[in-house]
Amino acid sequence: MPTEREDRLIETLFARHSADGDDVLIGPGDDAALLRCPPGEQLLITIDTLNEGMHFPAGTPAHSVGYRALAVSLSDLAAMAARPLWAVVTLSVPVADEDWLGGFADGLYALADEHGLRVVGGDFVRGPLSITVTAHGFAREDAVLRRGGAGAGDGIWVSGFLGDAAAGLEVLKQNLARNVSSPRDHRDSSEERLVRRFCYPQPRIELGRRLSGIATACMDLSDGLLMDLPRLLRMSGLQGRVETESLPISGALRDYAGPDDSRRLALAGGDDYELCFAVPEEEEARLEALPDELQFTRIGNLYEGEGLVLTRDGQPWEPPDSGFRHFS
């Protein structure tokens, strides 16, 4: 039950994007937003909730919280090759601290503006710190990528580097415990680069759209490769073999964690929001022809069967303490 002052805060927070009369007929401030859907395309909807203490540590800078909350949902749209268009947001906060709320909104709108997405509605409630974003995108039905659809013989690929965000979260927690200033103020050390990878994940919208027609299946990596890849394997009805030597590990992660822990983090660490996708051999030339800045790495192959098999030096291999057996 917001007071009139909170009504005005909401207007400030969630009404930086007002109705434009083009696709947004009614924006924030009424009971619902009214929107004109682009003709000839289908609507994609995804919803995600981030809870303080669960999805980000207490004390994470407000700017990062706002940015990440939207990034997580946009990453789902990226995985399905959609063009993001609109989002609605609810923010639950224990107290209405205007500085915090301003930082949150700055982070949220920074990412929205990067992708030309409009925030068309929001709700603001009292409670434990938590953010829910529902993101809306569009794509032609035949251009959409799914988790199912990969074929035996396809390569397994991932974008970017894996494990950085999990290491960044470790560093962020240490910094917060030692009361070290917010990540945006640090020198550009390896640790700082890792923290930034946790705080500012980059939804791979451009890559997702370019993969349409090349990849046979796609998903984003939110819970880590060991948790997520089996979901794609189940939906496609296949076995995956991942060569652990091929996992893309950044210099920053190797500096921070050394080779063994880097591999462990690249397999089991969450929050990278990279894409994992399957590409048949005959499409590899088109994949390799994509612009260099859309970085991706082949990490293994798909076979008839089920489950995920890891290899090292060509032999089946299980990481010592990752709880891997549980998810295979």
Chain residues that interact with a copy of itself, rule: CB under 8 A: 1-4, 7, 25-26, 29-37, 39, 42-51, 53-55, 76-77, 79-80, 82, 86, 88-90, 92, 120-123, 125-128, 130, 132, 134, 136-137, 139, 141, 144, 146-148, 219-220, 223-224, 227, 230-231, 235, 270, 326-327
Task: Give the pairing of strands 155-159 and 238-243.
Answer: unpaired
Least distance in angstroms from the C-beta of 33 to a copy of itself: 5
Task: Give the pairing of strands 118-126 and 83-93.
Answer: parallel
Least distance in angstroms from the C-beta of 296 to a copy of itself: 18
Closer by beta carbon to a copy of itself, 193 or else 273: 273
Cβ–Cβ < 8 Å for 224, 276? no
Closer by beta carbon to a copy of itself, 132 or else 239: 132
Least distance in angstroms from the C-beta of 9 to a copy of itself: 14
Cβ–Cβ < 8 Å for 90, 123? yes
Closer by beta carbon to a copy of itself, 192 or else 220: 220
User: Which position has the token pair 């089996």?
Assistant: 230
Least distance in angstroms from the C-beta of 184 to a copy of itself: 26
Closer by beta carbon to a copy of itself, 52 or else 192: 52
In sign, the C-alpha dihedral spanning 148, 150, 156, 159 is negative
> Cβ neighbours of residue 159 under 8 Å, at least 6 residues apart?
204, 207, 274, 275, 276, 294, 295, 296, 297
Closer by beta carbon to a copy of itself, 134 or else 297: 134
Least distance in angstroms from the C-beta of 48 to a copy of itself: 6
Pick left, alpha or beta for residue 176 (phi over 0 → left; psi -120 to 50 → alpha; otherwise beta): alpha
